[in-house]
Structures are given as structure tokens and as C-alpha cells.
């Protein structure tokens, strides 16, 4: 039997059968008047996920990278200055995209394994008395390093400096896995995608856009056509898309939202925290270290784990796949060959995570890693056993 093993990459994630069945549908006429009955509730319910009352939800047939491009091209002009910190592969790629769009990118270089430096943002913004910086860009959850950043602290730094720049946040690998508070944190554009916490296939960029950012589209001169906010919002208001929509993804998204709300968002976030902590317990038992430098930076959707000196993390990931048919994340950018990544987001349970930990343990033992077989699994088992709702109910 093949194709039955779960994946432990940071996305795309495992797709629940209920969502797969929802996407297994006959085509329909997206120009028909009843399509609005499908699309409008999805856009409305996405606001609950971003925790926004006033933000506009805009979706594009794309990946999160298309969402990045849409955010900058709709609100900025060539030559505009943006401020961003580089602390992982995805913040690095966002920087590259901005530079290719002709923006003046002011980069704060950070050590990989650290997060968004609110204090350094504050210093730069306070010094920008002419308010030349038009936007601050933050990667909420850096999947290359397993680092979670405090967006609220960045907003506080911006407010403390009295700076009017917009705040753009990449929440591709955090939305629907960790709490995100667009309105509370004063986020102007939040960018996510369908293939991670939302448990869908890749193919949809999902953005929440503030009124301030929508107003900025009037002056922005970066070229855009396919990713034009105005075209999409006008079409959405009339019940459709300006071009052919990804119907199957929209139907899958409806079911994904239903599943998240049925579980309860707070329960979803608590589940991800619990799964992540079990992985962290296993890492400690193996005697290995996380790339994230301190507990407040630990991501609840992915852990990046250093291999011991003299070992190649890519060889480990390849061996796990070739020998046991299970996928883990390789190291990216500066982390290539140094870390392997365990994705623990989306449609996962503690039992599924234990299977992944057991598999990577076998792969490490096969390659003569200095670990004790079963140690990480046992540590995670003990944690999950003590924190299981069923176990706690039985003990009571």
C-alpha cells in the first residue's frame, strides 16, 4: 500500500477526506447568479479567521508568493521605501520580490533563528522623520527556521515612533494554526495561502486588506493586472471573479472553515501548541537543539532542528523518504544541510505526530546519529499522555 503516510513538511499539509470530498465536484457556471451564494459567505467567514471587522478579504488563484506581489504592487510605487528584516528564507524571498518591483528596500540583517526585531524597527522608524518609509514588512512565522514573531510588538514600535507606515504581515504558515489578530495589531495587509493551516491544496492566495491599504491603491503605480485589488473587489461585490475562479478550492475552503469553526478556533490553536510541544519534548530527549533561539520564538506550526556536527540534514530527510516513505522538510537557505524540519500544522493529531517522530528516529539511527532509539517518541508520548483531554477526564 502506498500513499497512505502523512506528510510532516510545513506545507502543503495533509488534506482531510472531508475536504477532499468537498473538492470532488462537478464544475458549475461561475457566471451564474447563484455563485454569489457560494462565494460571499466564504469571504465573510474568512474575516473571522483573520479577526477583522473592517478588513476586506481578497483572494487570488495563486500561492502565497502571489499574495506578496499583490500586497506591494497594489499599494506602493517604484522607488517607495519599505523596511523589512531578513531572518529566514521567506523574509529573504519577500525582500527579493520587493527589489524586483523597483522598491527601495531597507533591510535589517538578523541572525537566522531570531525573529522580527521590534526594537530595531523602532529605531529606524524614529529616525525617519520625513516618513519616507511607506511600509514595514514582517514574516509572522518563518518556516525556514521555525521562528514565530510578535506582530503586536512591531505595531507597538511603529506607534511609539509615531510613524504612519503601513504594516504588511506574511501569515501564510500561521493563519488557522496560531492566533492572528489583524485589527488588534493594526495590520494593513495580511497574506496567507490555502495549503497550510487551511488544509487545502496549494493554489489560492488569501489576503485581508485594511481600509488604509485599500486607499493606498489610488496612488500606487506599480504595474498590476491579474493581481489588481480593485478588479477583484468589484467583481466580488457583484458575486464573482474578474476571471475564472478556482471553484474546487472555494468549495474546499468552505468546508475547511466549517471544520475550523466546529472545532473552535481557540481549540485549534491549543491543539497546535500541544502537538508542537510534544515535538519539542522529543527534540530535547534526542539531545538536539531547535533553530529558534528562545522559547518565545518557538513556532507552533513547524520546528527546525539542528543536526549534530558532521551530519547532513538533507541526507537525513532523503533517507527518511527513501527508506520509510515519509516526507520531512529540508533546510533552506543558510539552514541547508544544517536543519531538518518537522511540520506539525493542519490536519494532525498526536497519534499522527508520534508516527512522524518514530520515523525520523529510525532514519537518524540508520545514519548513526548519536540518539537512543525510542527516546524522542517516549518523551512525546509522556507529554501527550499527560495532556490528553481523554486521559485527564478519565483521571478525574
Confidence label for 396 from pLDDT (cuts 50, 70 and 90) = very low
pLDDT at 46: 98
How many structural domains comprise the chain?
2
What confidence tens digit (pLDDT) does each residue in 27-65 have?
888 888 888 899 999 999 999 999 999 999 999 999 999
In whole angstroms, give the CA distance from residue 238 to residue 233.
Answer: 9
CATH of the domain at 298: 3.90.1150.10
Model confidence at 110: pLDDT above 80: yes
Boundary (domain end) residue, out of 239, 261, 283: 261
> Do the domain assignments include residue 143?
yes
Q: Is 264 left (phi over 0), alpha (psi -120 to 50) or beta?
A: left
pTM attached to this predicted model: 0.96
Angle at 204 between CA 53 and CA 273, to 5 degrees: 65
Boundary (domain end) residue, out of 243, 261, 279: 261
Q: Are 82 and 221 members of one domain?
A: yes
> Do the domain assignments include residue 8?
no
The mean pLDDT value of the chain amounts to: 96
> What is the pLDDT averaged over residues 248-272?
98
| Sign of the dihedral through C-alpha 346, 350, 351, 352 | positive
Which structural domain, as residue segments, surrounds residue 49? 17-261
In whole angstroms, give the CA distance from residue 106 to residue 82.
Answer: 6
> Do the domain assignments include residue 233?
yes
In whole angstroms, give the CA distance from residue 170 to residue 97.
Answer: 13
The answer to whether 125 and 282 have CB atoms below 8 angstroms apart is: no
Q: Are 211 and 274 members of one domain?
A: no
Confidence label for 2 from pLDDT (cuts 50, 70 and 90) = low
Angle at 168 between CA 106 and CA 226, to 5 degrees: 100
Q: Are 229 and 366 members of one domain?
A: no
pLDDT at 3: 67
What confidence tens digit (pLDDT) does each residue in 302-317 have?
999 999 999 999 999 9
* Coil vs helix vs strand at 360: helix
Cell numbers at 91, concatenated: 523574509
8-state DSSP, 115: -
Q: Are 26 and 116 members of one domain?
A: yes
Q: Are 74 and 200 members of one domain?
A: yes
Nearest by Cα to 298 from 119, 174, 122: 174
Amino acid at each position: 500500500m502506498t500513499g497512505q503516510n502523512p506528510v510532516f513538511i510545513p506545507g502543503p499539509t495533509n488534506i482531510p477526506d472531508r475536504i477532499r470530498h468537498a473538492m470532488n465536484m462537478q464544475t458549475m457556471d461561475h457566471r451564474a447568479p447563484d455563485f454569489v451564494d457560494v462565494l460571499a459567505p466564504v469571504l465573510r467567514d474568512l474575516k473571522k479567521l483573520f479577526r477583522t471587522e473592517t478588513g476586506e478579504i481578497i483572494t487570488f488563484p495563486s500561492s502565497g508568493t502571489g499574495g506578496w506581489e499583490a500586497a506591494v504592487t497594489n499599494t506602493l510605487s517604484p522607488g517607495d521605501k519599505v523596511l523589512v528584516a531578513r531572518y529566514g528564507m521567506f523574509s529573504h524571498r519577500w525582500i527579493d520580490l520587493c527589489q524586483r518591483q523597483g522598491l527601495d528596500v531597507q533591510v535589517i540583517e538578523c541572525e537566522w533563528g531570531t525573529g522580527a526585531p521590534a526594537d530595531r524597527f523602532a529605531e529606524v522608524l524614529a529616525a525617519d522623520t520625513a516618513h519616507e518609509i511607506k511600509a514595514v514588512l514582517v514574516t509572522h512565522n518563518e518556516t525556514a527556521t521555525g521562528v514565530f514573531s510578535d506582530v503586536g510588538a512591531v505595531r507597538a514600535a511603529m506607534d511609539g515612533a509615531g510613524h504612519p507606515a503601513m504594516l504588511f504581515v506574511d501569515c501564510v504558515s500561521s493563519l488557522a494554526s496560531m492566533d492572528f489578530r489583524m485589527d488588534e495589531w493594526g495590520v494593513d495587509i495580511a497574506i496567507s495561502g490555502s495549503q497550510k493551516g487551511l488544509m487545502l491544496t496549494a493554489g489560492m492566495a488569501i489576503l485581508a486588506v485594511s481600509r488604509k491599504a485599500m486607499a493606498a491603491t489610488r496612488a500606487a503605480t506599480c504595474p498590476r493586472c491579474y493581481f489588481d485589488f480593485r478588479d477583484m473587489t468589484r467583481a466580488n461585490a457583484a458575486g464573482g471573479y474578474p476571471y475564472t475562479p478556482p471553484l474546487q478550492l472555494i468549495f474546499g475552503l468552505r468546508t475547511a472553515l466549517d471544520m475550523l469553526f466546529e472545532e473552535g478556533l481557540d481549540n485549534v490553536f491549543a491543539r497546535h501548541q500541544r502537538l508542537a510541544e510534544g515535538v519539542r519534548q522529543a527534540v530535547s530527549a534526542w539531545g538536539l537543539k531547535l533553530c529558534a533561539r528562545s522559547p518565545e520564538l518557538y513556532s507552533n506550526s513547524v520546528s527546525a532542528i539542528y543536526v549534530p556536527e558532521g551530519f547532513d540534514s538533507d541526507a537525513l530527510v532523503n533517507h527518511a523518504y527513501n527508506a520509510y516513505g515519509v516526507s520531512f522538510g529540508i533546510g533552506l537557505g543558510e539552514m541547508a544541510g544544517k536543519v531538518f524540519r518537522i511540520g506539525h500544522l493542519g490536519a494532525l493529531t498526536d497519534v499522527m505526530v508520534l508516527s512522524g517522530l518514530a520515523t525520523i528516529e529510525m532514519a537518524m539511527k540508520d545514519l548513526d546519529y548519536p540518539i537512543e532509539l525510542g527516546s524522542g517518541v517516549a518523551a512525546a508520548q509522556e507529554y501527550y499522555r499527560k495532556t490528553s483531554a481523554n486521559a485527564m477526564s478519565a483521571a478525574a
